Amino acid sequence: MPDSRASSSAPRPVSAGAPSPGAVSGVGADKPAVEFRDIDIAYGKFVAVRDFSLSIRKGSFVTLLGPSGCGKTTILRSIAGLVDISGGQIMIDGRRVDDVPIYKRNIGLVFQSYALFPHKSVFDNVAFGLKYRNVPKAEIARRVGQALDMVRLPGSERKLPSQLSGGQQQRIALARAIVFEPQVLLLDEPLSALDANMREEMRVEIKKIQKATGITAIFVTHDQEEALSMSDRIVVMNAGSVEQIGTPEEVYERPATAFVADFLGKANMLAGTVSKSDGPTAITLAAGQTVHVTSPRPLTQGSKVTVVVRPQKLSVGATAGANRLSGRVVSTSYLGGSAIYEIDIGGKTSVRANASINGRVVREGEAIEVGFDPAGCVLLDENGQRIS
């Protein structure tokens, strides 16, 4: 799906999420699992979310990504009915739910804090929602056992949450959210309280469970690595609006705005001026060096642009790419098979290169040459929008 930005003039919600192997097929398979139609959320005069439109396919894993205060958690809580919307509509499986009570929305929730009942057993924690739905006892026992098997904690029914590790508690919270087979699973930064190793393990587990069940999942995080590794689609948000929607590869390799380029991973943002527009576009950087790129459309000589190059796209040494930049190493971070170089290229401009070590490590103070291919960069106009 091409990258898109929310706009008040857009007549339809932007679609997010490719069908997964576990997605529902047959009649109604093309009906979106969740739709946001021109959503506004305000607290008095403060507008937390403005004109938010999004369509999410069944069985997909969609991440709302952005800095604190961008509106991502507010959007998630509005689906669950924990936040009232000021305008627009929220649809689940074609049914409007923004005016439906919380307990009738059939939503599974996994919170950052786990929110387990400390005095209840694992069984009672997982079975809590089923009991309120008047599910027969035998069916409750079957479903709880099935959910615990799925999160790889069979036999833990009689334990209390205090007898479990943080990762195990998170698994119980996940089991409780999926045991009643909700239409949509909402995950509000569920990994933030875990250590680095457990976070990585739980990423894999959550994704496996989501694929196995075919459930539609909406995940909120400010962690770029989580978003890139887990998502079918990423919705990058800023100040209550959508900056870009796309696959992890699209938003990382082809950022639509300066905000996306800067927020999603590291990026070298090289300001410059178009010095030659016929043939390969020549751009003279603020650092005084010139690079050549292939612009998607003709650019006016003298116009201001920014060349965006990811650190991984910069090669080091004599075999550097078609565009070569000379500089001096400011700092070196040795990582074993690779090194991160901070390089002063003049004009109060520095670039970061994350390069494999094919020879010796270049040390601080040494002269260095880095380069990149024209296809390895993105051009932004003077307003910070990708030139396309």
Structural domains of the chain, ranges and CATH numbers in brackets: 14-256 (3.40.50.300), 266-380 (2.40.50.140)
Q: What is the pLDDT of residue 134?
A: 85
Determine the pLDDT at residue 360.
82
Query: Is the model's pLDDT at 177 over the cut of 50?
Result: yes
Between 12-16, 68-72, 163-167, 176-180, the lowest mean confidence (pLDDT) is in 12-16
Q: Which among 246, 240, 238 is positioned nearest to 262, based on CA atoms?
A: 238
Measured between alpha carbons, how far is 303 from 383 in angstroms, rounded to an integer?
11
Contacts of 360 (CB under 8 A, 6+ apart): none
Phi, psi of 167 (to 5 degrees): -65, -40
Assess whether pLDDT exceeds 70 at residue 163.
yes
Query: Average pLDDT, stretch 370-375?
Result: 90
- Asked whether the CA dihedral 188, 193, 195, 201 is positive or negative, the reply is negative
- Identify the three-state secondary structure at position 10: coil
State yes or no: pLDDT of 28 exceeds 50: no
Kindly tell me if the per-residue pLDDT of 9 is higher than 70: no
pLDDT (tens digit per residue) in 252-277: 999 999 999 999 988 999 999 999 98
Question: Could you tell me what percent of the chain has a pLDDT over 70?
Answer: 91
Judge whether residue 164 has pLDDT over 60: yes
pLDDT of res. 280: 83
Does the structure show a pLDDT above 70 at 319? no
The region of weakest confidence among 29-38, 77-86, 255-264 is 29-38
Q: Which residues are within 8 A (CB) of 214 and not within 5 positions of it... i.e. 6 or more apart?
A: 20, 21, 22, 23, 24, 58, 59
Q: Could you give the CA distance from residue 299 to residue 320 in angstroms, rounded to a whole number? A: 26
The whole-number pLDDT of residue 260 equals 97
Q: What's the whole-number average pLDDT of the chain?
A: 88
Which residue pairs, CB below 8 angstroms and at least 24 apart, start in 176-179?
A: 176/116, 176/125, 176/126, 176/128, 176/129, 176/147, 177/108, 177/109, 177/110, 178/108, 178/147, 178/150, 178/209, 178/213, 178/215, 179/126, 179/127, 179/129, 179/130, 179/143, 179/144, 179/146, 179/147
Residue 12: pLDDT band (50, 70, 90) is: very low
Does the structure show a pLDDT above 90 at 1?
A: no
- Look at residue 320 in the predicted model and tell me its pLDDT: 64
Does the structure show a pLDDT above 80 at 176? yes
Average of pLDDT values for 216-224? 95
User: pTM, whole model, 2 decimals?
Assistant: 0.86
Question: For position 2, what pLDDT does the model report?
Answer: 40
Residue 122 binned pLDDT confidence (cut-offs 50, 70, 90): very high
Question: What band does 16 get if pLDDT is binned at 50, 70 and 90?
Answer: low
Asked if residues 39 and 85 have their Cβ atoms less than 8 Å apart, the reply is yes
Of 29 and 235, the structure prediction assigns the larger pLDDT to 235
Work out the average pLDDT over 201-230. 94
Q: pLDDT per residue over 320-337, tens digit each?
A: 678 999 999 999 999 888
